[in-house]
């Protein structure tokens, strides 16, 4: 359970899910999402009450002083929902008949623990428990191409599928093989 605050569109907006908040000065931890850029969404600690109305207020700090606060235009009430998609879904060619798929857990669980993941390739699919962040596709036809996706699921539903990106070999490895 947490509150997601998005300031990337130029207009502050919030989305929330279950938990409990204590006091009136909750702190939001901000992390750099990509080098050279500023993050546009932040997640509060998972301590919000489901059914209670919340506004978000954001101030920035430049190392010397704090800016004036910006307050969201809407109040929201947390509710549980499906998780966000798995992150960093990669597919790696292991042999002419095997592909390895790996991923990271979703950023947002939706207020319920992740129960597992559904892996889809071609007309096939399989499910693995939440503790497993990889899957081996084997006995594949080397003449066939596959689109691979991974979906997270919990008691609140299924995330959107995350398409696997091919894991590229480092140039040093390619050069050492071709020498």
Whether residue 9 has pLDDT greater than 60: no
pLDDT tens string 35-90: 455 555 555 556 666 777 777 777 777 777 778 887 777 777 777 788 999 999 99
- State the Cα–Cα distance between residues 143 and 159, nearest whole angstrom: 31
- The 8-class DSSP code of residue 66 comes to B
Whether residue 25 has pLDDT greater than 90: no
- State the Cα–Cα distance between residues 100 and 108, nearest whole angstrom: 25
Whether residue 126 has pLDDT greater than 90: yes
Mean pLDDT (the chain, rounded)? 75
Across the strands, what pairs with 13?
6
Nearest to 158 by CA among 104, 107, 83: 83
pLDDT tens string 148-158: 999 999 998 99
Model-level pTM greater than 0.75? Answer: no
Looking at residue 120, its pLDDT comes to: 96
- State the Cα–Cα distance between residues 140 and 157, nearest whole angstrom: 30
Nearest to 56 by CA among 76, 31, 36: 76
């Amino acid at each position: 359970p947490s509150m997601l605050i998005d300031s990337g569109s130029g207009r502050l907006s919030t989305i929330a899910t279950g938990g409990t908040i204590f006091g009136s000065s909750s702190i939001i931890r901000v992390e750099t999402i990509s080098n050279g850029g500023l993050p546009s969404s932040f997640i509060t600690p998972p301590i919000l009450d489901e059914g209670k109305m919340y506004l978000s207020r954001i101030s920035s700090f430049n190392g010397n002083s704090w800016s004036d606060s910006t307050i969201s235009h809407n109040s929201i009430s947390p509710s549980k929902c499906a998780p966000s998609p798995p992150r960093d879904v990669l597919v790696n060619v292991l042999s002419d008949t095997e592909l390895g798929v790996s991923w990271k857990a979703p950023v947002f669980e939706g207020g319920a623990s992740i129960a597992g993941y559904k892996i889809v390739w071609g007309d096939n699919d399989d499910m693995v428990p939440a503790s497993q962040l990889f899957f081996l596709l084997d006995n594949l036809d080397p003449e066939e191409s596959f689109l691979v996706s991974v979906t997270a699921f919990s008691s609140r539903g299924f995330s959107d599928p995350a398409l696997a990106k091919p894991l590229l070999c480092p140039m040093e490895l390619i050069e050492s093989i071709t020498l």
